[in-house]
Chains A and B, each alone.
Chain A
């Protein structure tokens, strides 16, 4: 029955959005972390979403509804920052440390967008649950 599929779809969306919230939390927490080695600096992490089953598969199959799959988490390739901090124990010979490439504004926007999408999915789920309950009690009133 197709109403049951809605729970899978909304559930996959909630899982994906909560992973996005997780990366946002980790990015914001590490926004100010520094390192002396550019390879060891924290880089912003971004989740990659894809539709499941994939777009090409849905074109062939009859089922039109798709959930979300978290395909992976990638590190941002944005340029790292540098800060002059000679008192820092990890500073290089010029007195510079590398700072992470987390954009706080971007992360805040990501957080809002993720929580709104999460709320939409919850709304879809609870509405569908209500519909199912009403369908189950059909003819009893």
Chain B
């Protein structure tokens, strides 16, 4: 039996951490002229990591089964895009602090949820190893 109970949550944690960094950059640059807010689609990024693919990247065309498939970047790098602002500022800044803070809170809760799941699984494994409750 193959036990890899953390695989999904480990990659989810990694992605949550890098999204945390991106969103922190947005909040930090709330007053920087011409700064464009960035973000990525977490669900899509996680799906890409799980399937080992990277969307929007340039791939080599495989016309023969012997050809190597090569992609740019690693699957763990999410495709970071630019947020479409609902109210762009005159100075070219597209950060909307309230939206960023909401996204940040959502991301932090997702991170803690993944942590909780991992902790629960560790506890379950421990119980199984000890054989007592």
Q: Which residues of A contact B (CB under 8 A)?
A: 1-3, 5-6, 9-10, 12-13, 16-17, 20, 49-51, 55, 62, 64-68, 113-114, 116-117, 120-121, 123-124, 127-128, 131, 134-135, 138-139, 141
Contacts and interface: CB of A to CB of B under 8 A. Distances in A.
Contacts of B32: 49-51, 68
B21 A131 contact: no
Contacts of B13: 135
Contacts of A141: 119, 123
A116 B101 CA distance: 12
A120 B25 contact: no
B73 interface: yes
B31 A120 contact: no
A131 B28 contact: no
B31 A113 contact: yes
Given A55-B36, A135-B115, A124 B24 contact: yes
Given A55-B36, A66-B25, A117-B97, 20 more contacts: A9-B28, A10-B28, A13-B27, A13-B29, A20-B31, A49-B33, A51-B32, A64-B22, A64-B25, A64-B40, A65-B24, A67-B28, A67-B29, A124-B24, A127-B108, A128-B24, A131-B112, A135-B115, A138-B118, A139-B119
B122 interface: yes
A133 B101 CA distance: 21
Max chain A C-beta neighbours (<10 A), residue from B13, B31, B123: B31
B106 interface: no
Mostly, the A contact residues are helix
B77 A55 contact: no
Given A51-B32, A131-B112, A124 B80 contact: no
B77 A62 contact: yes
A10 B97 CA distance: 14
A128 B119 contact: no
A3 B24 CA distance: 10
Contact of B111 (A12, A66, A124, A131): A131
